Amino acid sequence: MSVTQIQEEILKLKQEKDVVILAHYYQPIEIQEIADHLGGSLGLSRLANKVDTDYIIFAGVDFMAETASILNQNKKVLIPNPESCCPMAAYLTVDKVKEFKANNPNLPVVVYVNSTAAVKAESDICCTSANAVNVVKRISSEFNAKAVLFGPDANLADYVEQKSGIKCIKMPEKGNCYVHSQLTIDDMEKIRIAYPKCELLVHPECIREVRELADFVGSTGQMYNRVKNNTTSENDFCIGTEIGLMERMAQDFPNKNFHLISEKLICYNMKKNTIELMRYVLDNLDDPMFEVKVPPEIAKKALKPIEKMLEYS
């Protein structure tokens, strides 16, 4: 069966079974094409809070499905591949958060949405790469603090500290996204030579030296809107984030030219979800293997920092 045929079956089945499909920009393009809602972490967090179907299939990684479960305790949240996880989230455990809190009393705890539900439950507020700067400003003001505890991405913490002027104590010191942290100064210089008129867009999870060579630093959603709202005559963009976003933009903006800054920009964990698995899950909606269910006691605690993030965004 061809990909197109599988997609057609999925579109038919999700209507018949009243299922909504949420997909992140980093998903394979054939999954993005059949999603009801597509976006970055912040956009999908907002959408997950408004879903009115009994079943949600979240094409992303585990922490995203957990967030949907926290926001929708009365719904069944499914992930196509239970092994689709986020290595960054593994950098920060509940015990580590408690240790940092004990060593830094009275400082607010900010955790990136790329963290487990249990870690979120130990935080004061969550953030995404799109709203992290604003979240840190607001929560530090609320706590009357000159610093915050921030994890698990050290590069995003560094970026937020630069932009906000508020010290971000990294939890842990070297937590990172293996995709974005691979980008190097050499990659940036080579792409600039190859495409001298190209605008370079990179993610704040990149190292500082790479960010400083970029023309624009932003989340996936912010990069998308940067391209969408471009009013200059230049139509060439070099993309410094996971290839899935570039594939999405190439489809949505066919009159623009896109170049991936490095061939290494692939999240193999995101790609563990396949169109075939999406089709299979729709035939097995009540199979517990695919369900992501955050325990009520953790969900209740984790809901507060998520809701606070949405309030501040």
Domain contains 63: yes
Does the structure show a pLDDT above 90 at 310?
A: no
The stretch 262-274 carries a mean pLDDT of 97
Domain count, the chain: 3
Eight-state DSSP code of residue 8: H
β-pair partners for 239: 201, 260
Q: Which of 234, 260, 286 is the last residue of a domain?
A: 260
- Per-residue model confidence as pLDDT tens digits over 42-83: 678 777 778 888 999 999 999 999 999 998 898 999 999 999
- The percentage of residues in the chain with a pLDDT greater than 70, rounded to a whole number, is 100
Does the structure show a pLDDT above 90 at 184?
A: yes
Does the structure show a pLDDT above 90 at 14?
A: yes
Q: Which of 159, 176, 193 is the last residue of a domain?
A: 176
Does the structure show a pLDDT above 90 at 201?
A: yes
Torsion of CA 22, 270, 280, 6, to 10 degrees: 80
Return the amino acid letter for 121: A
- In this structure, the answer to whether residues 193 and 169 fall within a common structural domain is no
Q: How many residues does the chain have?
A: 313
Does the structure show a pLDDT above 80 at 263?
A: yes
- Residue 114: which of 56, 51, 171, 169 has the closest Cα? 171
CATH number at residue 282: 3.40.50.10800
Element housing 289 (H / E): none
Place of tokens 């996936």: 220
* pLDDT category of residue 231 using cuts at 50, 70 and 90: confident
- Per-residue model confidence as pLDDT tens digits over 116-174: 999 999 999 999 999 999 999 999 999 999 999 999 999 999 999 999 999 999 999 99
* pLDDT category of residue 180 using cuts at 50, 70 and 90: very high
Encoding tokens for residue 62?
């585990």
Please answer whether residues 252 and 10 qualify as being in contact, where contact means their C-beta atoms are separated by less than 8 angstroms: no
Residue 232: the pLDDT is 77
* Domain span holding position 197: 180-260
